[in-house]
Structure 1
């Protein structure tokens, strides 16, 4: 794993599927600390997973499982009415698939970051969050779960402590926020930042523990362990290069 800065940099990766290509993984991987790799339910196929693990190993990036609802057509961004038992099983299933490729490459899954609608549902549903925590604990004691950094994460800390699962708190450089720290829904205007300067300013504010404007322009402060920049953003590579240099200089 690369030497950590005060805050880590992560990216959702391995999201190609068959002949359909997504992201600039080969160019982005050297710039990040943590690679969140799709596990086949919202994106990725076995060969993509194998190649993504190999790429992460080559560049010393920590590997995170990026499990999702079974929603290839919707890229995992649609809510599915799954029971907690189903969510526990589908997370374990995807963890096992990625871990197989990790073991073959001489490494392992280092953490879990749910994707898309599942990630967002965990913010509001105690039973679903509990199911994912149980999956992490059952898969390997001490396996961390990455969750959204909110204005107040007391709920997440309480449930994680009960499950015996460490947490990693994540903030987003290129997403707009609601006043409580939840991500602004993508259907809203301005929910996704595309201006490189705005992305960089927000990222550095989060890294320094400083306030930045939410969707309504009000100040919001988050405590995060890791910053995410989405690899499907057209400006992502340029932003990643500048952000990597800026974080290393802190």
Structure 2
């Protein structure tokens, strides 16, 4: 009897390990698909991995980040909102399982940020502080997290450029917003560039910040570098095209 119970327990353990490995393999395949610019297939694979192992952090964060990207591309407002909500849900699940995981905090910052940019003034202001908090937590848990610095740069840029209605909402809801400047945006974007020189989205946002700050020579230098980079992810082609157009307009 003991032998049968032991054998059953061993079989269960082996099966559990096998499932975990299968989920990890799916995550690895999904990441490869991302680099092949096949986001839809990658997202589907992340979701399949979660069917095998619901608490796989890499699958949850991968699914969240891709939902945020997909939502950004979507033009229909209701569909955009649905996809962003899904992105936030995956991030929440990841944070519940691993609150000190840098990726989990990063994808939450991205999801909330996407929702904020697609919302009205009050909602945007209310979400803004959360974006900053989660981005800073991602950096706390991984000080070399390039994309988290990019999010902080974007946060500074957006807050520094708030319109009158948004500033009024911030004052009413919170008594104002934390200080944010174009210089801080640029500093964070530059940290991202130093840590990950291949991250194309950062070049476009950095160029915009330099232009806004009347530093055209630096703006042009950033754009010239951007157009030489190899696209890696699906959105990179459009981002590189935007950099090229911006450069042509300035030269």
Q: TM class, shorter-chain normalised?
A: 0.3 to 0.5
Structure having the higher helix fraction is 2
Looking at both structures, which has the greater relative contact order when contacts are Cα pairs under 8 Å and sequence separation is at least 6? 1
Structure having the higher strand fraction is 1
| TM-score (norm. length: structure 1) | 0.33
| TM-score (norm. length: structure 2) | 0.33
